[in-house]
Amino acid sequence: MNYPLETNLLKIKHLASVREKENYRFRTFLKGKNDEKVDRIVHRLHDELIRQIDCTLCGNCCCQLSVELYPKDIAVLAHLENITPESYQENFCRKDENGTIILNVPPCRYLEDKKCRIYENRPEECRFFPYTYKKGFIFRLLAMITFYEICPIVFNLMEILKDELRFRR
Protein backbone atom coordinates (compact mmCIF):
# COMPACT_ATOMS: atom_id res chain seq x y z
CA MET A 1 0.00 0.00 0.00
CA ASN A 2 1.45 3.37 -1.00
CA TYR A 3 -0.72 5.58 1.17
CA PRO A 4 0.64 7.54 4.11
CA LEU A 5 -1.26 6.36 7.18
CA GLU A 6 -2.59 8.66 9.85
CA THR A 7 -2.43 7.37 13.42
CA ASN A 8 -2.40 10.63 15.39
CA LEU A 9 -5.68 10.45 17.31
CA LEU A 10 -6.01 14.21 17.73
CA LYS A 11 -5.53 14.78 14.01
CA ILE A 12 -8.00 11.99 13.18
CA LYS A 13 -10.63 13.50 15.49
CA HIS A 14 -10.08 16.93 13.92
CA LEU A 15 -10.29 15.58 10.37
CA ALA A 16 -13.44 13.64 11.25
CA SER A 17 -15.07 16.89 12.28
CA VAL A 18 -13.88 18.69 9.15
CA ARG A 19 -14.97 15.83 6.88
CA GLU A 20 -18.29 15.00 8.53
CA LYS A 21 -20.44 16.18 5.58
CA GLU A 22 -18.05 14.53 3.13
CA ASN A 23 -18.38 11.23 4.99
CA TYR A 24 -22.17 11.36 4.83
CA ARG A 25 -21.95 12.08 1.10
CA PHE A 26 -19.56 9.13 0.80
CA ARG A 27 -22.13 6.98 2.61
CA THR A 28 -24.73 7.92 0.00
CA PHE A 29 -22.18 7.29 -2.77
CA LEU A 30 -21.41 3.81 -1.41
CA LYS A 31 -25.08 2.87 -1.14
CA GLY A 32 -25.18 2.91 -4.94
CA LYS A 33 -22.25 0.51 -5.29
CA ASN A 34 -22.17 -3.26 -5.53
CA ASP A 35 -21.86 -4.46 -1.94
CA GLU A 36 -19.78 -7.53 -2.85
CA LYS A 37 -17.29 -5.41 -4.81
CA VAL A 38 -17.03 -2.94 -1.93
CA ASP A 39 -16.54 -5.82 0.52
CA ARG A 40 -13.66 -7.22 -1.56
CA ILE A 41 -11.91 -3.84 -1.51
CA VAL A 42 -12.63 -3.26 2.18
CA HIS A 43 -11.38 -6.72 3.15
CA ARG A 44 -8.16 -6.22 1.19
CA LEU A 45 -7.64 -2.84 2.86
CA HIS A 46 -8.47 -4.31 6.26
CA ASP A 47 -5.82 -7.00 5.80
CA GLU A 48 -3.23 -4.43 4.75
CA LEU A 49 -4.05 -1.97 7.52
CA ILE A 50 -4.07 -4.42 10.42
CA ARG A 51 -0.53 -5.40 9.46
CA GLN A 52 0.54 -1.75 9.71
CA ILE A 53 -1.52 -0.38 12.59
CA ASP A 54 -1.20 -2.14 15.94
CA CYS A 55 -4.47 -1.81 17.84
CA THR A 56 -2.77 -2.72 21.10
CA LEU A 57 -0.77 0.52 20.93
CA CYS A 58 -3.88 2.67 20.60
CA GLY A 59 -6.72 1.70 22.95
CA ASN A 60 -8.88 4.60 21.77
CA CYS A 61 -11.90 2.37 21.19
CA CYS A 62 -11.58 1.23 24.82
CA CYS A 63 -11.67 4.87 25.91
CA GLN A 64 -14.55 5.97 23.71
CA LEU A 65 -17.00 3.10 23.22
CA SER A 66 -19.29 1.14 25.50
CA VAL A 67 -18.86 -2.60 25.03
CA GLU A 68 -21.89 -4.83 24.55
CA LEU A 69 -21.62 -7.93 26.70
CA TYR A 70 -23.14 -11.31 25.95
CA PRO A 71 -23.88 -13.86 28.70
CA LYS A 72 -20.70 -15.81 27.89
CA ASP A 73 -18.66 -12.57 28.19
CA ILE A 74 -20.23 -11.83 31.56
CA ALA A 75 -19.44 -15.36 32.75
CA VAL A 76 -15.77 -15.01 31.72
CA LEU A 77 -15.41 -11.54 33.22
CA ALA A 78 -17.13 -12.61 36.44
CA HIS A 79 -14.73 -15.54 36.72
CA LEU A 80 -11.77 -13.16 36.26
CA GLU A 81 -13.18 -10.93 39.00
CA ASN A 82 -13.89 -13.98 41.19
CA ILE A 83 -17.59 -13.12 41.56
CA THR A 84 -20.86 -14.49 40.24
CA PRO A 85 -22.17 -13.40 36.83
CA GLU A 86 -25.14 -11.80 38.58
CA SER A 87 -22.85 -9.82 40.86
CA TYR A 88 -20.67 -8.80 37.90
CA GLN A 89 -23.68 -7.56 35.98
CA GLU A 90 -25.01 -5.69 39.02
CA ASN A 91 -21.69 -3.99 39.79
CA PHE A 92 -20.09 -3.38 36.41
CA CYS A 93 -22.85 -3.31 33.79
CA ARG A 94 -25.90 -1.34 32.79
CA LYS A 95 -28.54 -1.55 30.11
CA ASP A 96 -28.47 0.99 27.31
CA GLU A 97 -31.55 2.63 25.75
CA ASN A 98 -32.15 -0.55 23.69
CA GLY A 99 -31.92 -2.86 26.69
CA THR A 100 -28.49 -4.13 25.64
CA ILE A 101 -26.14 -5.03 28.49
CA ILE A 102 -22.95 -2.95 28.33
CA LEU A 103 -20.02 -2.17 30.58
CA ASN A 104 -20.92 0.75 32.86
CA VAL A 105 -19.01 3.59 31.25
CA PRO A 106 -16.01 4.13 29.05
CA PRO A 107 -13.11 3.99 29.47
CA CYS A 108 -13.12 0.23 29.87
CA ARG A 109 -12.22 -0.88 33.36
CA TYR A 110 -9.68 -3.31 31.88
CA LEU A 111 -7.69 -0.68 30.02
CA GLU A 112 -4.33 0.15 31.57
CA ASP A 113 -1.74 2.35 29.82
CA LYS A 114 -3.55 1.86 26.47
CA LYS A 115 -3.34 -1.90 26.91
CA CYS A 116 -6.05 -4.42 27.70
CA ARG A 117 -5.26 -6.26 30.92
CA ILE A 118 -7.50 -9.16 29.85
CA TYR A 119 -6.67 -9.22 26.14
CA GLU A 120 -6.89 -13.02 25.79
CA ASN A 121 -10.24 -13.01 27.62
CA ARG A 122 -11.68 -9.79 26.17
CA PRO A 123 -15.39 -9.67 25.25
CA GLU A 124 -16.61 -10.78 21.83
CA GLU A 125 -17.35 -7.21 20.72
CA CYS A 126 -13.76 -6.22 21.46
CA ARG A 127 -12.43 -9.16 19.45
CA PHE A 128 -14.43 -8.16 16.37
CA PHE A 129 -13.91 -4.38 16.45
CA PRO A 130 -13.75 -2.49 14.08
CA TYR A 131 -15.81 -4.99 12.02
CA THR A 132 -14.08 -4.07 8.76
CA TYR A 133 -13.40 -7.73 7.93
CA LYS A 134 -17.11 -8.66 7.99
CA LYS A 135 -19.40 -8.86 4.97
CA GLY A 136 -21.89 -6.07 4.35
CA PHE A 137 -19.68 -3.03 4.86
CA ILE A 138 -22.13 -0.71 3.08
CA PHE A 139 -24.87 -1.78 5.51
CA ARG A 140 -22.77 -0.62 8.50
CA LEU A 141 -21.82 2.82 7.22
CA LEU A 142 -23.38 4.83 10.04
CA ALA A 143 -21.29 2.87 12.53
CA MET A 144 -18.21 3.31 10.32
CA ILE A 145 -18.73 7.08 10.29
CA THR A 146 -18.80 6.98 14.10
CA PHE A 147 -15.72 4.74 14.24
CA TYR A 148 -13.95 6.98 11.67
CA GLU A 149 -13.12 9.51 14.38
CA ILE A 150 -12.12 6.87 16.93
CA CYS A 151 -10.21 4.16 15.08
CA PRO A 152 -7.12 4.74 12.92
CA ILE A 153 -7.91 1.58 10.94
CA VAL A 154 -11.40 2.79 10.02
CA PHE A 155 -10.15 6.31 9.34
CA ASN A 156 -7.43 5.15 6.95
CA LEU A 157 -9.63 2.51 5.35
CA MET A 158 -12.36 5.04 4.57
CA GLU A 159 -9.87 7.56 3.18
CA ILE A 160 -8.20 4.99 0.93
CA LEU A 161 -11.58 3.62 -0.13
CA LYS A 162 -12.65 7.13 -1.20
CA ASP A 163 -9.58 7.32 -3.43
CA GLU A 164 -9.89 3.82 -4.83
CA LEU A 165 -13.54 4.32 -5.74
CA ARG A 166 -12.78 7.78 -7.17
CA PHE A 167 -15.16 9.56 -4.84
CA ARG A 168 -15.27 13.29 -5.52
CA ARG A 169 -14.45 15.05 -2.31
23-35 pLDDT per residue, tens: 999 999 999 999 9
Give pLDDT, residue 1: 66
User: Angle 35-52/152-164 helices, nearest 10 degrees?
Assistant: 130
The tens digit of pLDDT for each residue in 47-94 reads 999 999 998 889 999 999 999 999 999 999 999 999 999 999 999 999
Judge whether residue 10 has pLDDT over 70: yes
Which residue in 107, 105, 85 sits closest to 96, CA to CA? 105
